[in-house]
Structure 1
Amino acid sequence: MGTAQTGTGARPPRATIIDVAREAGVSPATVSRVLTGSKPVSAEPEQRVRAAVARLGYRPNPAAQGLLRGTTSAVGVVVPDLSNPYFAEVLKGVTNAAQHADFRTLVADTGEKAGAERDAALELSRWADGIVLCSPRMSQWELTELAAAVPRLVCVNRRSRGTRIPAVAVDFEAGVASICRHLRELGHRRVAYLRGPARAWSERARQRALRAAGGPDLEIVQIPCGSSSVDGHSAADAALATGATAIMAFSDYVALGALARFDELGVSVPEEISLTGFDDIALSRLVSPRLTTVTVNKQDLGLRAWQLFVDTGADGIAGSVVEVTPELVVRGSTAAPAGVTSPRRETVHDR
């Protein structure tokens, strides 16, 4: 049987630490000590190793070298659902910032399973210098326990009161309050809210805002839902059955699912029902009608998380909590209920 020939366009095999050791006439351990500086090596074998590295064009594997030094030049990012554009944008912000610092980004998607977050973070921490944890669903004590195991831990969309875990947090209460004010001023008096995941910190913040906003002139009916467009599609019928004149969704992603269901039912938005989202993902500006929502720069959240990651350092000294205030964006999916003249319209940005 003939020997396989390497094609003219094929790259030659990459030199390994074994090749360098053979070329220099030393052990692989000696090569490793020279390249990492972990232990002193006498001048003559060091010169042979460096000459062999130059002749073979050897390039150390960054991950392997990092592990030997106790660092990896990598950051792990754990997200609940990477198919959700919100988390994809946050991830992009972390990745872009990390690349400028010559860091790699390792990603784990937990599929909205709170029980998978701890294991994903611990697994990534074996290969990364620390973890950015996006919108964790785990309990407070689980988060505290994880922070003890992964000292360089930063949260996005999760405050951790009573701990020193650095975090970037959106002021969800302010965002929900601005939506409620907008709907009230349009003349809506009965609003159905499509609830997000019960274990989400951001949902608990929304609930606090809804309790504060509700009253004699604004009844808020709660509809179990979730965080995906499929959830929004499934919950739309129940929301309509409440007799509400407006529907407030946990997120744009949920609102887009409800909007699709309304189209199937022949329910006109906003003529028959007003609809709001939260997050201002790109799709919210591309559907018809364009979605009234609350905007926050998702990539900026990722950038801020990266900055906290850098500030925290390998020793786990905690950074601060950065709070970002979202802004209401009124578009075509909200209007006064039929037969009602809105007393005034808020001054907001329409993008």
Structure 2
Amino acid sequence: MAATIRDVAQASGVHVSTVSRTFSAPHLVNPETRNRVLAVAEDLGYRPNRAARALTTGRTHNLGLIVADISNPFFPPLIKAAQAHARLRDYHVFVADTDEDPQVEEELIQTLTKQVDGVLLCSPRLSNRAIEKLSEDVPFVVVNRRLKGMSTVLMDVGLGARLAIEHLTALGHRRIALLAGPAGSWTSREMSDAARAVAGIDLAILGPNSPTEHGGLAAAEAVLAADVTAVLAYNDLMAIGLVEGLDERGIEVPGRISVVGVDDIVSGRLTRPKLTTVAMPTEAAGRTAVDLLLQLVGAGQTATPALATLATHLIIRDSTGPVPP
């Protein structure tokens, strides 16, 4: 039979209410007593009833994590890091996938906010105004979208795009295409702004495109029509698809066209040629987002929105080379 709260209280020599406070409001319990209760609970295998605790504290100890496309290899490392980090704080993370659909995203937010203490929204497709309206009921942290008045975790893709373009210009490339992502994407806009700021290049922005291998494959004709010698793709999936599309047309990478991706997903290291890419700190973003969200959950209405910007870096592999003669 599973241990009960009364078993823990009796073995610890304290009242049942003290055991309850140890788990629901540990800061209200004397440290020595708290440690004794926790040790006894561990020995007895006692686990507090989450539903009962939620009635007492008003908290579920659940968080929602909404991503744009769970099949995209960019997201699983972020998800796993967020889940592991939340567990250390006695929180569980429930993951939902919008399939890149703003309407689905809105429905999921409306559903989750009734069941969790806070929401992590990763690479959203909704408008800023819609997100601000939907985030009124529970604490929100947004990953990869800058929103005024909301806590945000940004992976500095603008820095990464600049490093990628500068790498290409150092190889002699001047006619460069940016293969844009979905319409309304914050990441795509940041990349465009950063690329435009690099002097001395003739930049062609192609898109919007689906952020998938198929999207990159379908963009091969547009890349060839743009008469460029190098391409920076919105993400690695698109870059991999583009390399395939160029190969089908007899165009060598990097002999004729150099290609750079973004994300540093595993498959980019296995392609031929291996993909030059901007590495994104996805695991750090997951952990940081959980930290910011739990700060908001703990502070309630007094919380001040926070901004965390995480650095990106360029990994040079085999898909980039000197401009062809």
Tell whether the structures are fold-level matches, with TM greater than 0.5: yes
Asked if residue 70 in structure 1 is aligned to residue 55 in structure 2, the reply is no
The correspondence for 1:158, drawn from 145, 151, 165, is 145
TM-score by length of 2: 0.81
Q: Structure 2 matches for 1:142-291, cutoff 5 A?
A: 142-150=130-138, 152-161=139-148, 163=149, 165-213=150-198, 217-224=200-207, 225-291=209-275
2:7 matched to which residue of 1?
none
Shift, 1:266, TM fit: 3.0
- Counterpart CA distance in 2 for 1:219 and 1:134 is 32
Equivalences for 1:1-351 in 2 at 5 Å? 61-63=49-51, 65-67=53-55, 69-150=57-138, 152-161=139-148, 163=149, 165-213=150-198, 217-224=200-207, 225-314=209-298, 315-316=300-301, 317-339=303-325
1-structure distance, mates of 2:192, 2:55: 44
Shift, 1:296, TM fit: 2.2
Identity %: 35
User: What amino acid sits opposite 2:160 in the alignment?
Assistant: G
Q: Which residue identity lines up with residue 94 of structure 1 in the other structure?
A: A
SS at match of 1:77: strand
User: How many residues end up aligned between the 2 structures?
Assistant: 289
Q: Deviation per CA, 1:118-163, whole angstroms, max 9, x where unpaired? A: 221221122211000101122121122122122x1111111112x1
- Name the residue aligned to 2:29: none
Structure ID, larger Rg: 1
Aligned 8 A contact 2:192 2:205 in 1: no
Output one character per residue of 1:159-218: Cα deviation in whole Å (capped at 9) or x when no partner.
112x1x1111022221111111111111112112211112111112112112212x5x31
Distance 2:104 2:55 in 1: 25
Runs (4+) off by over 3 Å: 35-38, 57-61
Separation of aligned partners in 2, 1:252 and 1:335: 18
User: Is the CA contact 1:157–1:169 (under 8 Å) kept in the aligned structure 2?
Assistant: yes
Which residue identity does 1:336 align to in structure 2? Answer: P
CA contact (8 A) 1:186 1:337 kept: yes
1:309-343: CA deviation from partner (whole Å, max 9, x where unpaired): 1211241413410011211111110001222xxxx
* Residues 36 and 68, structure 1, Cα contact 8 Å, conserved in 2: no
SS in 1 for 2:197: helix
Distance across 2 between alignment mates of 1:142 and 1:62: 32
Give, as a single letter, the amino acid of the residue that structure 1 aligns with 2:118.
G
CA change 1:303–1:210 in 2 (3 A) is same
1:263 Cα deviation from its structure 2 partner = 2.9
